[in-house]
Chain A
Amino acid sequence: MAKEKFISEESGCIPLNIENVDTDQIIPARFLKATTRDGFGENLFRDWRYDRKNEPVKEFVLNRPEVKGKILVTGKNFGSGSSREHAAWAIYDYGFRVVVSSFFADIFKNNALNNGLLPVQVSQDFLEKLFVLLEDDKTTRVKVDLEEQTISVPSTGMNQHFGISSYKKECMLNGYDDIDYLLNIKDEVLDFEKRRSLW
């Protein structure tokens, strides 16, 4: 099944300068009862976004009208904890297309890539400078170019190369899907079942 392509993105950023953001913060377990993939954005960062009376927490960055963008910039070790793909769905559903951090948890990274959400891993130094820029000017725009594998701040010229496997890059650029790939080589899987030898 074809997915949305990702080629490049230039937009404002939402800075979330917190480390070790775990998937329970991204989407709390009590919102995992849905049986479809839609609508999780509504509860993204639920317990930081709303207080116990369900009133929006004014200071929380997603509730500040002057901060807009499709790029989420977060502290190191983003997405640790549970394997819930709902975390990637919630971020995507909210409208983000890129997450920038200096370090991602493994399962989250896979889940993001499987859903057209690009995880961009930058150096700690680059991340800290980016947070400072976003602190000074909420409207700072960032450009992420997947073809070139670069992230840059056009207004200052700050830029960095980021890594991604060439397979995943192809998938993102073309909207290819892993399951289609696997279904097309089903004969190889069946052959493996016949020829497999134990360790």
Chain B
Amino acid sequence: MKSKTLFDRIWDSHVVSTIENGPEILYIDRHLIHEVTSPQAFHGLKSRKTGVLRPERTVATPDHNVPTADQHLPISDELSRYQVAKLEKNCKEHNITMYGLNHPFHGIVHVIGPELGLTQPGMTIVCGDSHTSTHGAFGSVAFGIGTSEVEMVLATQCVMQPKPKTMRITVDGEIGAGVTAKDIILYIISQLTTSGGTGYFVEYAGSAIRNLSMEARMTICNMSIEMGARGGLIAPDEITFEYIMGREYAPKGEDFKNAVEKWKKLRTDDDAEFDKEYTFKAENIEPMITFGTNPGMGMSIDSEVPALEMIEPENRDSFLKSQKYMGIEPGTSLLGKKIDYVFVGSCTNGRIEDLRMFTAFVKGKVKSADVTVWIVPGSKQVENQAREEGLIDILTESGFQFRQPGCSACLAMNDDKVPEGKYSVSTSNRNFEGRQGPGARTMLVSPVTAAAAAITGKISDPRDFLAK
């Protein structure tokens, strides 16, 4: 039998049929939906007079649009309230399980999937959201789809997709103090650029990846889309199985043991070939920060923004446009730059481990008076765990406010908007123009670097604190 990559192995086993010179018809094991990209799909079903083929394979939660304070009250924004109500109505009508606001399982769709055990190795998982790649951390083929495809999955449990090419990114070695999974992925994207992965599905490998926790692996896979890749995945191992064990939707008892035996087979054959390979050394990765308006424009926090001469002539216009938007002078250092907002949360860095990192850093220190800080847990479960572990108490003592779960300032669909011209140091995934509010200036960092900024009110190298 021909040797296969992990991606091929999972993909090929889900192909229902192939259209000649066209896409493949791929069976979907798990479908996650939210309020923003699903209403038109349900409307489409109605127009076609068809229903949902496998409602038990779809799970819903409202996350993009929800407020992160006073969730016990009706949503004050009329359109948001309507969109969330529409999701609830559609789910009820089609027998789809939905975890609404205030439900103990509510949260960001890519945080609750894994924490409920909905995400399992070997599955195909889709959602009308590009950060569906997060679920690849469990050795599943997970990717974002458009609303027409959401309708396809609801109606037929399949999507039509051309099969992507394969890429392996190996990171070997050990990361240094103050360096996190977020820095690893920001580093990779800075090397490959925002389109370097387009057309590919990425497998992350190497000792630096193997040593990561599930939360950290999710952070890595989450941002695969930021280099254009359709998704990213990591072969499952003991760390994966241990994470899944006992979760709500995970197989139990004998079934779990049997599942693990099967999951262990999910790996890339030693002699399998990838269409493209990159290798990086973990030792070369430092705390990262972005200085521009796409996630590929990142650098080590202690280096300087490239000078104009360092940019290829044909890219200079775009570069200058982006630096003008950011109010950042090419060729300068960002260290010591005053900032206005810090956002900790999102499907990239809104899990318990991220909150632990942030809290450990700020413990015994005081929030800078000049900075507004939003700490938004990825889910109700994360919120409750943070409370049980005493994190919220520590944060409160240091002057921080803890909010309620949702996508929040990652895309600023709710009230959590950064005002025009203000600088936001953010643990989210995109620094596009206006992403955190019209005119907002976003710099992407890890939770540790965000913590350093929240304490000092400036861009600061977290390692300066660790040494003391």
A binding-site residues for B, Cβ under 8 Å: 1, 17-20, 22, 24-25, 28-30, 32-37, 47, 52, 75-77, 80-86, 88, 103, 105-107, 110-111, 114-115, 165-168, 178-179, 181-183, 185-186, 188-189, 192-193, 196-199
Partner of A77, one of B53, B157, B198: B198
Could you tell me if A166 and B152 are in contact, using CB atoms closer than 8 angstroms?
no
> With A103-B198, A167-B22 as given contacts, are A28 and B82 in contact (CB-CB < 8 Å)?
no
> With A76-B195, A114-B149 as given contacts, are A182 and B155 in contact (CB-CB < 8 Å)?
yes
Chosen A-B contacts, 11 in total, with CB atoms closer than 8 Å, are A18-B318, A18-B321, A24-B434, A29-B435, A30-B412, A32-B413, A37-B40, A80-B194, A85-B147, A106-B230, A182-B160
Chain B residues with Cβ below 8 Å from A196 are 13-14, 27
A190 (CB) vs chain B CBs: closest residue: B53
Chain A residues with Cβ below 8 Å from B225 are 81
> With A20-B294, A85-B146, A185-B17 as given contacts, are A105 and B195 in contact (CB-CB < 8 Å)?
yes
Could you tell me if B80 and A84 are in contact, using CB atoms closer than 8 angstroms?
no
Residue B156 is within 8 A (CB to CB) of chain A in the complex: yes
Could you tell me if B40 and A36 are in contact, using CB atoms closer than 8 angstroms?
yes
Mark contacts of B1-34 with chain A using CB atoms, 8 A cut-off: 1 yes-contact digit, 0 otherwise: 0000000011011101101111101010000000
Partner of B432, one of A25, A77, A84: A25
A19 (CB) vs chain B CBs: closest residue: B318
Residue B420 is within 8 A (CB to CB) of chain A in the complex: yes
Chain B residues with Cβ below 8 Å from A1 are 44, 47-48
Q: How far is the CA of A52 from the CA of B417 in the complex (A)?
A: 14
Q: How far is the CA of A22 from the CA of B435 in the complex (A)?
A: 10
B243–chain A nearest beta-carbon distance, Å: 20
Could you tell me if A28 and B434 are in contact, using CB atoms closer than 8 angstroms?
yes
At the interface with chain A, which of B105-113, B122-130, B396-404, B449-457? B122-130
Chain A residues with Cβ below 8 Å from B413 are 29-30, 32-33
Residue B50 is within 8 A (CB to CB) of chain A in the complex: yes
A32 (CB) vs chain B CBs: closest residue: B36
Residue B79 is within 8 A (CB to CB) of chain A in the complex: yes
Residue B144 is within 8 A (CB to CB) of chain A in the complex: yes
Could you tell me if A103 and B195 are in contact, using CB atoms closer than 8 angstroms?
yes
A114–chain B nearest beta-carbon distance, Å: 4
Q: How far is the CA of A197 from the CA of B321 in the complex (A)?
A: 52
Q: How far is the CA of A64 from the CA of B132 in the complex (A)?
A: 39
A85 (CB) vs chain B CBs: closest residue: B146
Q: How far is the CA of A112 from the CA of B16 in the complex (A)?
A: 24
A178 (CB) vs chain B CBs: closest residue: B160
Chain A residues with Cβ below 8 Å from B439 are 47, 52
Partner of A110, one of B37, B83, B149, B156: B149
Could you tell me if A179 and B155 are in contact, using CB atoms closer than 8 angstroms?
yes
Chain B residues with Cβ below 8 Å from A37 are 40, 43
Could you tell me if B194 and A20 are in contact, using CB atoms closer than 8 angstroms?
yes
Could you tell me if A25 and B433 are in contact, using CB atoms closer than 8 angstroms?
yes
**Which of B19, B39, B432: most chain A Cβ within 10 A?**
B432
Partner of B195, one of A77, A82, A181, A186: A77
Could you tell me if B318 and A82 are in contact, using CB atoms closer than 8 angstroms?
no
B111–chain A nearest beta-carbon distance, Å: 18
Could you tell me if A24 and B10 are in contact, using CB atoms closer than 8 angstroms?
no
Q: How far is the CA of A157 from the CA of B256 in the complex (A)?
A: 65
B319 (CB) vs chain A CBs: closest residue: A19
Partner of B194, one of A77, A107, A178, A183: A77
Residue B365 is within 8 A (CB to CB) of chain A in the complex: no
